[in-house]
Structure 1
Amino acid sequence: MPLSAVVRDRCRALLPVGEQLRYVFPATSLWSGRAVMLADFIVAVTDNQVIVLGCRWLRRNRPSSVWATYPRGLRLGPVEMYGSLPPTVTIGALLLEVDEEYVPVIRAADAELEDCLPLDPLPDL
C-alpha cells in the first residue's frame, strides 16, 4: 500500500528547503555496519539527494529525524531477493528490508539515473 499523504507530508517537513519528494518508501534495518539493529526508516528520494529518515520507536510511519543523506547519484539497487525472504537493499552502511510492493519504486528511482539508461542504438558517427 503506498504511503499516505499524511506520511508524505511528515517526510516533506524534514527535507531541506526547496527539495521535492520524487520517491518514498518505508524500510526496516537489519544491519548498521557494526551491529544488528532493528529500526524503522523511510527513504526519501528528491532531485538532488537520497535522504534516510529515522522513525520513532515502534512508529513506522512517523519520521522524526534525518539519519543520513547521500547524493542523488547513489543507486538504491540492486534489490536482493532470496526465495521467501523479504527483499533487501543496502544504502550506505544500512541493510534495509523492504516490502515487495516497493521494489518497483526502488527500480524506478534507479532508472532515472543517467548511467542506468540504455545505450543509444544509433549513435552519431
Structure 2
Amino acid sequence: MPVSSGVRKRIKELLDPDDEIQYVFPADIFGSANPCVFFAVTRKTITIMTTGRLSRKSPKRVIATTLRNHRIGPVETGGNPWFEFNGVVYEIDDEYISVVHAADAEISRSAAKPEDPLPDL
C-alpha cells in the first residue's frame, strides 16, 4: 500500500522546508523493540524517521540523515526483503523493493553523467 498523503505531509514537516521529497517508504529495523521507520529520499538527503512505539503510521522524529549521494540497497530478496544501510538492517515489504531500486538508480544515473568540460561558460 502506498504511503498516504497524510504521512507524506507529516514527513515533509520534519524535513528541510527547501527540500523536495522524491521517494518515501516504510521499513522495520530488524530485531528492534521500536521497529518501524520511514525513509524519505529527497533531492539533498536520505532521512530516516521513527514512528515511536504506539503508532506505526505517523513519523515522530528524525533519527538519521545521510547525504543523497549514498545508495540504499541492494535489497536481498531471499525470504523477507531486507537491506543494510549505515550498518543497520532493515526489512521492507515486497511492494517497496521497486522504490529502493528507483532511488538507487537515480544515484547511478547521476554518477554516470560526465563533468561539464566548460563549467565557466
TM-score computed with the length of structure 1 as normaliser = 0.83
Say which of 17, 41, 45 aligns to 1:45: 41
Task: Point out where structure 1 has 5 or more consecutive residues left out of the alignment.
Answer: 31-35, 120-125
Number of the residue aligned with 2:82: 88
Number of the residue aligned with 1:10: 10
Helix, strand or coil at the partner of 1:60: coil
Number of the residue aligned with 1:104: 98
Aligned positions, number: 113
For the 8 Å contact 1:26–1:60, the answer to whether it is kept is: no
Q: Which runs of 4+ in 1 moved over 6 A?
A: 116-119
- When residues 75 and 43 of structure 1 are mapped into structure 2, their CA distance, relative to the original with a 3 A threshold, is same
Task: Point out where structure 2 has 5 or more consecutive residues left out of the alignment.
Answer: 114-121
Helix, strand or coil at the partner of 1:22: strand
Counterpart mapping for 1:107-122 below 5 A? 107-114=101-108
Aligned equivalents of 1:12 and 1:113: distance in 2? 22
- Is the counterpart of residue 66 in structure 1 residue 37 in structure 2? no
Number of the residue aligned with 2:116: none
Q: Which has the higher strand share?
A: 1
Counterpart mapping for 1:17-56 below 5 A? 17-30=17-30, 36-38=31-33, 39-56=35-52
Aligned equivalents of 2:110 and 2:68: distance in 1? 13
